[in-house]
A and B are shown apart, each in its own frame.
Chain A
Amino acid sequence: MRERFLTGYNDFVLPFSLGLIFIISYCVVGMIRILHQLPAEDRKRFFISLVTPATMWKNIKDIFLKCLIHVDIWKRNKLLGYMHSSIAFGWFMLIVVGHIEVFLYTPHRVKLFYYPIFFRYFVAETESTMRGSLIFFLMDLFLLIVLSGIALAIIKRVRSVMFGMRRTTNPSFFDLVGQYSLWAIFPLRLLAEAFTADISGGSFLTKSLNYVFTSFLSNHANMLPAWWAYSCALGIFFFVLPFTRYMHIPTEILLIPMRNAGIKIRNARKGFAKAEVYSCPSCGLCIDACPMGVMKANIKDTTVYLNRQIRRRNEARIEEISDKCLLCGKCTAICPVGVEGDKLRIAQRSIRKYNLNPDYSNIPADASGIEFAAHEVTAPSGRAREKILYFAGCMTALTPVISKAMESILKKAGADYAFMDRDGGICCGRPMFMSGRFDAARMLVEKNTEIIKASGADVLLLSCPICYKIFREKYHLDGIRIIHHTEYIAGLIADGILKPSSDDTKYVYHDPCELGRGCGVYEAPREVIKSVGTLVEAQKNRKESICCGGSLGSLTLGFDKRRAMTENALANLVTESPDIIVTACPLCRSTFNRYSDRPVEDIAETIDRKITKTVKS
């Protein structure tokens, strides 16, 4: 390779160079701001994690797999996965191989950052460059891969169903500018390189195209507009990037190490929350996932639009979107970049000021009514003999059939149990927490902690997944095990203490949001159901389970709006025509029960019904 120009410069590099300088400065400033906004301890933790070998390796791995290969999208839909990784990985490889070219052939130009991008313009091929060498081939190959990705992206805009997406996001004006410039970059690169391929060399793609061009465009002066256009497309893309969804590309590289460092949202708009908001690629996967989207309603209230409105600082819409959400967490579960839609919304809710702030300090934390060994304890020693404190919670109090079944199971198991809130108890704090009123929630948590610790229990048993989540996450109970009744019953069956009878009834299990996505309990209830009958699965289950519509999470959604959601969730459950719908959340149970055409039960009722023999020691 030899250089064609003495200076190694042409005016057409300007749009690209200015754009690149702009975007790099923007990202650096943005990164410093986000890191600066973190609380001091989080910042410290972040920097430490950057030099800890384990997280360092995880960061590199995650960035490679998520940002370049997009493994999560591959798992979801192969075509969508290919589209993303072909563009991201292909482009990345074009840059890498481009740099290798410069290192190999014109090492003295390495300091010119634009040189690898426009390398083919500045050089001419000589005998010593081995025509059709591997590098030329690789460059064309990766360009072809990127072009195939771009072609798919264009098809996706028209027919997103092919990519497993029923609905996609409405692009904003800047998104469109960014998108069109991104789509233009690679065809223009092909055009520009094809023009110069007879001078600078090329491979199967550029060289062949060059033969076509020379047949009617023999004048090399024509090449300059193509290179200008290529540079302009790059420049425009870089200049609009901060105002488009493509900002997710640089931000995700920051988000991944922050998340690996264990940083959580502490402020609704700053620090980690900001990183999450800017990491949103606006892909719109959350639109299909959102349970509020039945009948094409509430589409503009999904997480992707929340992120957009937060970026635009549209306070009225932010509030509306944040308050409406059911907090089922499905958007978080399926988000390929890990934007936590539910937590972001709770954070927005926490900004609001209330005139009235509850004071729970005068509620007595009284554990005197809790008496163990009030019933005959016949369970064998060991795990079954532990002192179990049963906290039904307010939702179970409103569904007494569950607490009654649970008490019956405890008796049949001969367990040593006590009822913590038979005659009314203190709220677990989760509803306050969900509405962003952390201080009020904390007061309730402290009161309950005091009672539980004073009771002398070994295990805290819960029936309501809403309570269960906050007990697991926010309570520190010094060694008292916290379990949900699905896990407790599964344990009793596994230990042979309960022996339910089995028949050929077909059950479907509905994963409650708070128990499944919220606490990761998927297996225990399924094992329990398999011990009494045939388990069939809902069309969408486990982490993609559909919210029943009864969630406490929404502050504004009326029952008239929820009805369609409940009916949709039910339709999803009965595709395998089960005889009975089983769930493990009092709220899901009562929500479904009123709309269902077949019986809806809590898992405790099912098991209680199927156990006739009691344990005798």
Chain B
Amino acid sequence: MKENILIIGGGIAGLEAAAMLLRLGHSPIIIEKSDRLGGHVASWHKLFPDMTPAKDVVDRLTAEASGANIFLNTEISFVNKLTDSYNIMLSNGISIITKVILVTMGFSLFDAAKKEEYGYGVYDHVVTNRDLEQWFNGKDDPRIDNSAMNAVGFVHCVGSRDEKAKNSQCSKVCCITAVKQAIEVKQKFPDASVYCFYMDLRMFGKKFEDFYISAQRDYGIRFIRGRVSEVSENIEGRVVVKAEDTLSGKPLKVTLDLLVLMAGMVCGDSCTKVAGMIPLPVDSDGFLKSKDNIFDVMESPKEGIFYAGACTGPKTVPETLAEARAAALDIHLYINGLE
């Protein structure tokens, strides 16, 4: 009899792991709480650094994983631990007995309204990185003016590296996302002034640095080192940003048509919930705790439970895919070892 493999979360990690497991001859089950696959990436427009359409990525992954047993709109109701396996009750009434679980529940976007000083949800022209991506995807947003924009600002590290906001970790991908989104805005509105307010720029990945230099050289995007101190709204409803340019040591005030908050990554809400049911330990950064942070990142401290993707910490798309494949291989070896 084939072992059941339960993949919790139908984002890119879950899909890629499922595809790999199918190729290795297993028949994984994916459960996804929303009504579509692809997770966060599905709501994104283009991916850095080559401006790959996110839709292409999700479509390809979905096609490759189509052989898996997929339940949409399904959540975990409760988990029972049996002697050597888990009995998992789903919200659609199905119960699954499995020895192997792959957790791919990913991250949640930090709630930007928790940084009250930026006025998300209060001012008319303050959006998050996700709102902007969805607008790029053609979804209308009353906060974003489709016709003309003179000035746009990006605030880095919103809810990342911020102890006050209960998240002291770096979310890793927002620096490069801001560069990408700034370029996209500039492409749409070539005359607009685009500002990025940052504290550090962490251009660690392949071609990231080139991308960043191109943003400055080819697009004239202004990078200002200094955190935004105060955001207000003027009488016309435009956003007024006060910040300090710490390189020139001068205070600065700009009036913008749109302010984009680069909300960071925190461990997913449902991830924390499910982790509580099994239960799985949570590390000091708020994400799930691996058995070992060097050798066994994809293994949980519990027998038979594996991780892939952003549930153990912020990751880029290629990193997530690599982890998903690695986790699939780990599971394959684990199942072989059981027999």
Please give the residue numbers on chain A whose beta carbons come within 8 Å of chain B beta carbons, in ascending order. Answer: 397-401, 404, 422-424, 558-560, 563, 586, 589-590, 593-595
Contact = CB atoms under 8 A, between A and B. Distances in A.
B125 to A, nearest CB: 13
Interface string B70-109: 0000000000000000000000000000000000000000
Nearest to B118: A400
18 contacts: A400-B116, A400-B232, A400-B233, A401-B116, A401-B119, A401-B122, A404-B122, A422-B232, A423-B234, A423-B240, A424-B242, A559-B164, A586-B116, A590-B117, A593-B114, A593-B116, A594-B114, A594-B166
Given A400-B232, A590-B117, 10 more contacts: A397-B117, A398-B230, A400-B123, A400-B231, A400-B233, A422-B232, A563-B166, A589-B116, A590-B116, A594-B164
Interface string B99-141: 0000000000000001011010111000000000000000000
A559 B117 contact: no
Contact of A400 (B119, B234, B242): B119
A588 to B, nearest CB: 12
Interface string B194-232: 000000000000000000000000000000000000111
B15 to A, nearest CB: 32
A594 B121 CA distance: 15
A175 B165 CA distance: 45
A594 B232 contact: no
B119 A559 contact: no
Nearest to B233: A400
Contacts of A560: 163
Contacts of A399: 116-117
Interface residues of B, number: 18
Contacts of B165: 594
Contacts of B122: 400-401, 404
Q: Interface SS of chain B: helix, strand, loop or mixed?
A: mixed
Contacts of B166: 563, 594-595
A398 B116 contact: yes
A614 B232 CA distance: 26
Contacts of B121: 401
Nearest to A605: B122
Contacts of A397: 117, 230, 232
A118 to B, nearest CB: 65
Nearest to A590: B116
Given A400-B116, A401-B119, A401-B121, A559 B163 contact: yes
Contacts of B232: 397, 400, 422-423
A398 B117 contact: yes
Contacts of A398: 116-117, 230
Contacts of A400: 116-117, 119, 122-123, 231-233
Among B114, B123, B234, B240: residue with most chain A CB under 10 A: B114
Question: Ordered nearest first, which 9 A-B pairs have the shortest CB separation?
Answer: A559-B163, A398-B117, A399-B116, A400-B119, A401-B122, A590-B116, A400-B122, A594-B166, A594-B114
A399 B120 CA distance: 10
A563 B231 CA distance: 25
Contacts of A590: 116-117
A559 B116 CA distance: 17
Contacts of B240: 423
